[in-house]
Amino acid sequence: KGHMHRRVLGCLYSSLHTLTKHHHSLSSKSLFTRPSSSSIFRSMSTSTTFKFAACQLLVSDDKQANLDNARKAIDEASSNGAKVISLPECFNCPYSNASFPEYAEEALTGPSSQMLSDAAKRNQVYLIGGSIPEKEGDNIYNTCLIYGPDGGLLGKHRKIHLFDIDVPGKIKFKESDTLSPGNTQTIIDTEFCKIGIAICYDIRFPELALLYNQKGAKFLVYPGAFNMTTGPAHWELLQRGRAVDNQLYVAAVSPARNPASSYQAWGHSTVVSPWGDVIATTEEKPGIIYADIDLKKVDEMRTNIPTSQQKRKDLYNVIEV
């Protein structure tokens, strides 16, 4: 019996020793072997949650300073874990009809597009480049350039609906004095979801958001610059409306308010959930806001309140022309 007892103990010790060595091997690999950044990025490709950052930038009349400021904000947002980052409308120049022709550049060869591409690649993020005045031939467009983690161009959205309004005694602005309208919808594919892109005044047109929804978008991003008249009244209201109408996330990204500017931006960059809740916002000063975009909440909302399946297409329909 004693002999058998020693043999059993010996086998147990040998097995325990082997398991311990295997455990230390696995622990050392997981604790001290750092995977490459590219493998980290690939490992997130099946995630249903990602961090979004909206950079509310103070814009001056110094174009290079504006680009430097944007680059720093992108780097900061990335360092804080954001995988999708958006800049505001007209992040590289003042918002004015006088400025649009002066600051306009060709979309893919100018300094703004080069900065955006480099920043997206360096940080391995999806970068929604707010908007810049884009020059093509005799036309100038209010254009958003979107870049992927490899620095490649994913999409280009030219503002479809131009901001031509006249509210007596409060504000009058006519973008069409200098800008031309875009004619295409813009949806980008990411490993997280499809994201619909539009600019500022585009948010007032629910048909565009509905078409993005019908094409599979779960997140809409609007770089925008509402003013001190329309901002307090409609900025948040329109975001919540588009979010609830389409049961998806909506973000609107504004410049910070610059007291020295002729056009006073409302600020208040905001992210809204599919339920219509404001999940991130700020005031008028420069800063970065963050929101965790949980795509399961989009699916949950669409399952619990299935409005997309209940539409009376025998009575009405929104179609692409």
CA distance 41 to 25: 25
Is-catalytic flag, 89? yes
Catalytic residue check, 193: no
Helix and strand element counts for the chain (H, E)? 9, 15
Cα–Cα dist 73/65, whole Å: 12
Task: For strands 126-128 and 84-86, give the pairing.
Answer: parallel
Which member of 93, 144, 200, 218 is catalytic?
A: 200
Separation of alpha carbons 239 and 258, rounded Å = 23
Distance of alpha carbon 58 from alpha carbon 252, whole angstroms: 16
Structure tokens of 203? 């948010």
Report CA Rg, the chain: 25
Q: Which of 156, 159, 218, 297 is catalytic?
A: 159
Stated as kind and residue range, the H or E segment containing 196 is strand 194-197
Q: CA nearest 69: which of 59, 54, 83, 84?
A: 59
Tell me if residue 136 is catalytic.
no
Which residue in 83, 89, 93, 236 is the catalytic one? 89
Active-site residues, by number, are 89, 159, 200
